[in-house]
């Protein structure tokens, strides 16, 4: 089969870092080709070079045998090259149909476009409603929209950066069916993922990057996940240490019969949710994206207020408290959306540290202690192995996984008594994921209460002491860790067996 894409000697350097160093690879027509590597290994830079966002310092790109000189994303799209970024590029205040229209040429006919969207979504098994507003979509629904927007333009080369990060297992299988179908139609796919089991199940070939260089090429179908992980990180992965849980007698956080309105017209209403979160334990919330996770996280973090008496922090009512007062009371929160909510893209890591560190010594008498903030940011960078050009680096300059590590480190630096974290290892490489999971376990064993929202069932089973499932705005009874199998959780997540409301 002839090569759809050929890279030869691609190099790209930025101040203080060589992102790509003499990279060569080939992707055949109809091939699903994985690019593997740790966060900061150079994967995203390489994809931006292919797509035309960034120009290489050296090397050449051939597409269908033709040399691509300096090219733009618009020129790439005209050639049939499409890319779905890890951080979505959607306009949140307009509809799904309008977002799709912005990427299509020709006269705008919204009624006809809505029909095309429904037909395309049905053909590929995607749950995309053209009339919904993007700001009301969950992260998983936004991922499906990004993919559908590319499919509407019949791509010949599709680049996917962490496409299953926020998808439930059943949705992943559905996506794989879509990808296999379009690959069979001749479209080449470059697939970036840290989920090695998925890579082995889907991809025909894999190129491994480490430190900006190609360190291996392999048929992932012939390798184990462990072998791929070792190729990525250059060493064996640590086995998580999980001491026995000793929950505090009284819950640190209590939710009592919480019923809440949806976030936006297409959100999910919460129904009579109750749970107790004790110090010394990690509790998981599993669920298919869009079933109330955003609403529950907003109520717990203070982004949305709750009726009086529904939410207790160490026995004190906090449902009517704003997020800053909850933080001062010992609560920390890591949202699933990093840029724009977890961090301000155009601010330095130092300034982003101040965003939540005001209650822990970084602001006194109304004055920001920037020296202390820089030292704290530097400590987070070192302690969490964040690949960044120092505390002055902009949040937008970090890869997704490195920004996630920084945000989690920033919250842990507050020594919270209650930590709420959504999708803790979304887009994070296997080595960093193991490190993050260990830190969450360690925090709980130091006496804090940790609540984890995740669609990674393996992750929840690995780190949680108890797991609830949130489905259609209702919370199931908790399953103990030794009872929580992937099949049982998956059935609850998809409503195969209706979950019971927790008492």
> For residue 500, is it within any domain?
no
Residues 157 and 198 in one domain: yes
For strands 157-161 and 17-28, give the pairing.
unpaired
Per-residue pLDDT tens over the stretch 68-102: 988 899 899 999 999 987 667 788 889 999 999 98
> For residue 483, is it within any domain?
yes
Mean pLDDT in residue range 143-157: 87
Residues 446 and 474 in one domain: yes
- Of the three residues 178, 203, 233, the one that is the final residue of a domain is 233
Task: Read off the tokens for 197.
Answer: 């089991």
Task: Read off the tokens for 191.
Answer: 């697939």
Residues 203 and 297 in one domain: no
Calpha distance 448→315 (Å, rounded): 15
Residues 318 and 403 in one domain: yes
> For residue 460, is it within any domain?
yes
Residues 196 and 271 in one domain: no
How many domains is the chain built from? 2
> For residue 242, is it within any domain?
no
- Of the three residues 207, 233, 259, the one that is the final residue of a domain is 233
State what percent of residues in the chain have pLDDT above 90: 55
pLDDT at 273: 94
Task: Read off the tokens for 210.
Answer: 């480490």
Q: Which domain holds residue 269?
A: 251-493
> For residue 357, is it within any domain?
yes
> For residue 241, is it within any domain?
no
Q: What CATH number has the domain bearing residue 315?
A: 3.40.50.300
Calpha distance 78→63 (Å, rounded): 12
Residue 178 CB-half CA count within 13 A = 24
Per-residue pLDDT tens over the stretch 188-198: 999 998 889 99
Residue 489, H or E segment = helix 486-493
Q: With beta carbons less than 8 A apart as the criterion, state whether 270 and 260 touch.
A: yes
Residues 162 and 287 in one domain: no
pLDDT at 168: 63
Residues 255 and 202 in one domain: no
pLDDT at 375 exceeding the cut of 50: yes
Alpha helices in 96-205 (DSSP H): 96-101, 110-124, 139-151, 169-184, 196-202
Banded model confidence at residue 266, pLDDT cuts 50, 70, 90: low
Partners of residue 60 on adjacent β-strands: 8
Per-residue pLDDT tens over the stretch 448-501: 999 999 988 888 999 999 999 999 899 999 999 889 888 888 888 876 544 444
Task: Read off the DSSP letter of residue 348.
Answer: B
Task: Read off the DSSP letter of residue 358.
Answer: G
Of the candidates 361, 355, 463, which has an alpha carbon nearest to the alpha carbon of residue 410? 355
Tell the residue number behind the tokens 């969450």, with chain if given. Answer: 440
Task: Read off the DSSP letter of residue 86.
Answer: S
pTM, rounded to two decimals: 0.72
């Amino acid at each position: 089969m002839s090569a759809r894409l050929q890279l030869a000697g691609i190099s790209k350097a930025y101040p203080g870092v060589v992102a790509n160093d003499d990279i060569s690879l080939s992707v055949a027509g109809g091939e699903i080709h994985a690019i593997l590597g740790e966060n900061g290994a150079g994967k995203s830079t390489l994809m931006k070079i292919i797509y035309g966002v960034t120009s290489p310092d050296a090397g050449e790109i051939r597409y269908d045998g033709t040399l691509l000189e300096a090219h733009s994303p618009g020129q790439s799209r005209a050639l049939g090259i499409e890319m779905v970024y890890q951080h979505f590029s959607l306009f949140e205040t307009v509809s799904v149909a309008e977002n799709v229209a912005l990427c299509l040429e020709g006269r705008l006919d919204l009624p006809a476009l809505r029909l095309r969207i429904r037909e395309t979504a049905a053909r590929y098994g995607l749950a995309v409603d053209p009339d919904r507003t993007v700001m009301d979509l969950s992260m998983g629904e936004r991922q499906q929209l990004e993919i559908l927007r590319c499919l509407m333009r019949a791509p010949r080369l599709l680049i996917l950066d962490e496409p299953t990060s926020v998808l439930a297992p059943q949705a992943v299988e559905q996506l794989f069916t879509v990808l296999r179908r379009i690959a069979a139609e001749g479209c080449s796919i470059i697939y970036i993922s840290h989920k090695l089991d998925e890579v082995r199940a889907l991809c025909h070939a894999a190129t491994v990057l480490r430190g900006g260089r190609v360190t291996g090429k392999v048929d992932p179908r012939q390798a184990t996940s462990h072998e791929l992980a070792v190729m990525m990180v250059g060493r064996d992965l640590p086995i998580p240490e999980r001491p026995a849980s000793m929950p505090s007698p009284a819950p640190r956080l209590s939710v009592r019969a919480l019923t809440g309105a949806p976030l936006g017209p297409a959100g999910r209403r919460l129904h009579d949710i109750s749970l107790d979160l004790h110090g010394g334990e990690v509790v998981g919330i599993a669920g298919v994206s869009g079933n109330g996770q955003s609403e529950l996280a907003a109520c717990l973090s203070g982004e949305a207020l709750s009726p009086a008496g529904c939410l207790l922090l160490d026995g004190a009512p906090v449902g009517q408290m704003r997020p800053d007062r909850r933080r001062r009371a010992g609560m920390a929160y890591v949202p699933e959306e990093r840029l724009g909510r977890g961090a301000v893209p155009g601010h330095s890591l130092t300034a982003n540290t101040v965003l939540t560190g005001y209650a822990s010594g970084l602001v006194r008498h109304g004055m920001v202690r920037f020296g202390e903030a820089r030292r704290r940011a530097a400590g987070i960078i070192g302690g969490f192995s964040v690949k960044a050009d120092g505390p002055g680096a902009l949040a937008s300059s970090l890869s997704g996984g490195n920004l996630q590590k920084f945000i989690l480190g920033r919250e842990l630096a507050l020594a919270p008594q209650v930590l709420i974290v959504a999708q803790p290892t979304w887009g994070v490489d296997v080595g960093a994921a193991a490190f993050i999971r260990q830190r969450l376990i360690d925090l709980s064993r130091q006496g804090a209460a940790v609540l984890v929202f995740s669609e990674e069932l393996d992750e929840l089973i690995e780190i949680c002491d108890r797991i609830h499932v949130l489905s259609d705005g209702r919370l199931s009874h908790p399953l103990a860790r030794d009872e929580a199998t992937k099949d049982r959780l998956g059935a609850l997540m998809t409503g195969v067996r209706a979950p019971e409301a927790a008492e």
